A and B are shown apart, each in its own frame.
Chain A
Amino acid sequence: MQEIRTRYPGYDILKEEDHWDEHTREIVLKRLGPFPEHKFLKHHEAQMIFTIAQHIVYDHRKEILDYVLHHMDNTLSSPVGEDQRKTGTPEQKVLIREGLKAIDKLAKKQYGPPFLEISIEQQLSILTALHKGLAPPMKEWQTIPQKALFKKLATTMVSAYYSHPTVWSEIGYGGPAYPRGYVRVERGLTDPWEAKRDANES
């Protein structure tokens, strides 16, 4: 994964934090850690989430994945609803907790060792099967729908990953823009503080 991760190597969104409103700054900077102890996830569950997240967001950096993990724990320990849930799918706490157990069981059944000890290719093959709902039959899938499990894991992880300021810098996102807003919004124009590509890149 050492390919070029950004078209904007010189851009660091955090250099702009003085231009953000206080409320937004507080919210965004908390994503850099340190994070409190997990309220919901047990140690083994957290390790599994961390490893699955590497594959879903295609990134290995601990400082970002720790935030993804924190967000997952926050989501699962929060009393706030989950917007929507398909009939026949258990609530997210049960879906994730029982789902992780099922993933471990599947790894052992298919490959021998538990999920964390199988190869990256084998881990990816399990995730791909869950995504498509094509994992080998196990009684667990009757109460833990595979696709729902994959979707809940993946959307929660992706939501956190693309809320991390380091990732914002890499994709050249302008991020928080209050109170200053944008002056130059038309094609080809940028405000002086926005992400600019290397002059050498075509």
Chain B
Amino acid sequence: MPTNHDYVLHNCDHYDGHRYNHLDKRKYGDGADICIVGSGAAGGVLAYELSKAGFEVVVIEAGPFWNPQTDFASDELSMQSLAWNDTRLVAGSDPLGMGHNNSGRGVGGGTVHFTGVFYRFHESDFRVKTLDGVADDWPITYQDLEPYYEKIEKDIAVSGPKHFPWGPFQGPYPYPEREPISANAQVFREGCERLGIRSTVAPLAILSAPFDGRPPCINRGFCNQGCKPNAKFSTLIHHIPKAIGHGAEVLSDCMVTHVKVDKSGEVEGVTFVHDGKEYFQKAKITILSAFCIETPRLLLNSACPQFPDGLANSSGMVGKELMTHSGHDIFAKFHDEVRLYKGTPVLAVSQEFYETDASRGFVRGYTFNAHGARPLGLAKNLVSKAGIWGQKLYDIMRDYNFHAQITLVGEVLPDKNNTVTLSNEKDEYGMPRPVVTFSYGGNDNKLIAHAVQKANEILTAAGGQPSFVTPDTGHLMGTCRMGNDPSTSVVDHSCRSHDIPNLYICSAAAFVTSGGCNPTETVMALAARTADHIIEEAKKL
């Protein structure tokens, strides 16, 4: 049995090398108040807040219940298993890289392998239609999310600068900024300073001092391979163990294949598969927090006579307006070593180019993260995305230690042609594989060109010689967007389905626009707000 002082094993159903396997003796086998599909950034927060409020909560997760000490390794190749590796079919003129690039599997979801960069969206992100005449406004404003941003930052002790110069929140963060910063972050800040561009130490969901039984970061650098010391927040080590402590049950290695609707048109529960056997979980409220591909896939796959086009899809918007962030990596070579492997990957940032500037010839903007890189990730991107191989690849990699990198997180505008649909090909569960179609639009490409040039200017000012750019993307958003109008959106301002009152869709899938920065904090704030809404609604009954 787990000992009380072991932070992660305590309160979790994964102990002594055995995984919970008694699906016939489930805690809420006869029915739960709330069933949450997915245990990532959104599902973890929802499970914690709702179980704390007294609801009987079941979380169903497709992947394993990881133990960081025995399951994680300081190794890129083996840790690709943290990703959603199931094959997705990709299409469009800019087909997306999936897997480790943007999708998690297992308790904690993407938070297990995210970089920990933790931004609030800006006020303008919620009003893109009003301000820029493109995309749409969100049905909520920055002010609606503000208390939840603040709550999440305190709950997990976000570290960051005393003064953050962009957007409505200017600091200070609950925990002090990280110190020292890596050579790559120093190079970035020097380049920025010479050009008069403001930069700061990154706001991070990574501890700069002890908190809640967890130690500060040791600069191991493997954030994307799963944090072994538990210095980086994930819902695996924070929200889920606490939720279990409040009575929630987590069913890991269980793949939900169907959302079932009863005669009255309400969701009755979900069907899931564990070890080849099918089970049913009944619940009064079902919340889908399965991110941007699996959520629409599940809704479309759950089509039934009452809802022939899939659940929650009277608008036809399920699976539409998939967004990513342009995530180009810009490299320069330096005379002295930078050593991109050392320290937290992102330790310095700039949002100087975040807001629309009419003189640039495109709307919206982007964030720069000074970004570390490891050999496999770099070499794989060089060959697959920049088409560099053989001696040329070898020559670059020999000088791996002499390169500095800046990564773009660029806003991508929603487009109805960027979609998640079902294919004719079936997976191991008999579910149709999703087809993920994505192409950049004209505005997206202008933004990328601007950012690549600016990044090269910064690296040059720092003394580097621009060497190569690998086109890349990061994050997924959209496919079940929020809105006030049921004919053009899937969920309302509280992430509740317009069509089915006891069905919620709460994750980055509900985003209306992508913003120009890492989205995890906004996903978590949205989840905390949805939890509050569900708690308030229950009080009315």
Contacts and interface: CB of A to CB of B under 8 A. Distances in A.
Interface string B382-405: 111001011101100111110000
Interface in B330-347: 336-339, 341-343
Nearest to A167: B375
Interface stretch (A32-40, A77-85, A101-109, A110-118): A77-85
A27 B379 contact: no
| Chain A interface mostly | loop
Contact of B90 (A85, A91, A177): A85
A175 to B, nearest CB: 7
Interface in B397-455: 397-401, 423, 428, 435-436
B89 A179 contact: no
Nearest to B83: A83
Contact of A56 (B97, B219, B390): B390
B73 interface: yes
B183 A188 contact: yes
B380 A155 contact: yes
Contact of B391 (A58, A87, A154): A58
A137 B302 CA distance: 44
A170 B73 CA distance: 21
A86 B391 contact: no
Q: Which 6 A-B pairs have the closest CB atoms?
A: A181-B218, A83-B99, A176-B74, A58-B394, A81-B87, A81-B86
B54 interface: no
Contacts of A158: 376, 379-380, 382-383, 389, 393
7 contacts: A24-B75, A87-B89, A151-B383, A158-B393, A187-B183, A188-B336, A190-B339
B89 A173 contact: no
B91 interface: yes
B220 interface: yes
B88 interface: yes
Contact of A186 (B87, B180, B378, B391): B180
Given A56-B389, A81-B87, A155 B384 contact: yes
Interface residues of B, number: 72
Identify the interface centre among A71, A182, A195: most chain B CB within 10 Å of its CB: A182
Nearest to B397: A171
A24 B73 contact: yes
A20 B74 CA distance: 8
A181 B220 contact: yes
Interface string A161-184: 111000110111111111111110
Interface residues on chain A, size class: 35 or more
Nearest to B95: A86
A163 B89 contact: no
Nearest to A182: B219
A125 to B, nearest CB: 12
Contacts of B428: 79
A154 B384 contact: yes
A122 interface: no
Contacts of B435: 87
A187 B401 CA distance: 12
B98 interface: yes
B218 A180 contact: yes
A178 B74 contact: yes
Contacts of A86: 89-91, 95
Interface in A49-88: 55-59, 71, 79-87
Contacts of B343: 182, 185
B306 interface: no
B96 interface: yes
B502 interface: no
Interface stretch (B8-16, B137-145, B221-229, B256-264): B221-229
A28 interface: yes
